[in-house]
Amino acid sequence: MAVGNKQSEDKWMYSASITDNSQVVKNYPHSYQPIDEIVKNEKCKGKTQFSDEKAIYLELVELGLAKGKRSKCPIVDFTFGIKHDKSKKYRLVEAKFDVDDLKNIDVKNIRDKVGHSKDVMREDGLPVENGAVVLINKSKIVEQQKNWFSRRLQPFGNYQIMTIDDLYTHYFVS
């Protein structure tokens, strides 16, 4: 981290140790996977910058929780630990790589998924960021789509609309 760089000093950064020591990972060890593999499963096209970074693939946790029940309780795609100074929390991520027009995304559905995901992650005893990162594909109008969708979600928490490269730069590069 550069000395005197206020932006990087205030930045919440990925923390492998938070995710490594998660109670959810202990209960569902198969859910702890490389982020690169998770986003490919979620239909991310092309190469990502992720190498060894891991996250909790909450869709696999959801399947485990649904065993013996009639319906699944929808949750976001994955989460990872972030830290700032001594503070720690989880950041939720919903991938929407298979959606061409963001106007087709149900905002209430995303908010419901975030709520259920926070309930699942509470057993770790760490706070979960209010809101989520919503991952979208790169396109010629990606900035327009980010602005439009962010305005729709803004009243409901800290929602960030990003491409996979934005996610990497924002949380994984100091």
Q: What is the mean pLDDT of each run of 10 residues along the chain (174 residues)?
A: 51 94 94 96 91 94 76 86 94 88 80 91 88 81 75 79 92 92
How high is the pLDDT of residue 69? 66
Say how many C-beta atoms besides its own lie within 10 A of residue 134's C-beta. Answer: 26
- B/e letters for 12-39, b = 16+ CB within 10 Å, e = fewer, are bebbeebbeebebbeebeebbebbbebb
Identify the residue whose tokens are 């930045």.
11
Q: What is the DSSP letter of 10?
A: T
Instruction: Please state at what angle helix 107-121 crosses helix 142-153, rounded to 10 degrees.
Output: 70
How high is the pLDDT of residue 143? 78
How high is the pLDDT of residue 9? 60
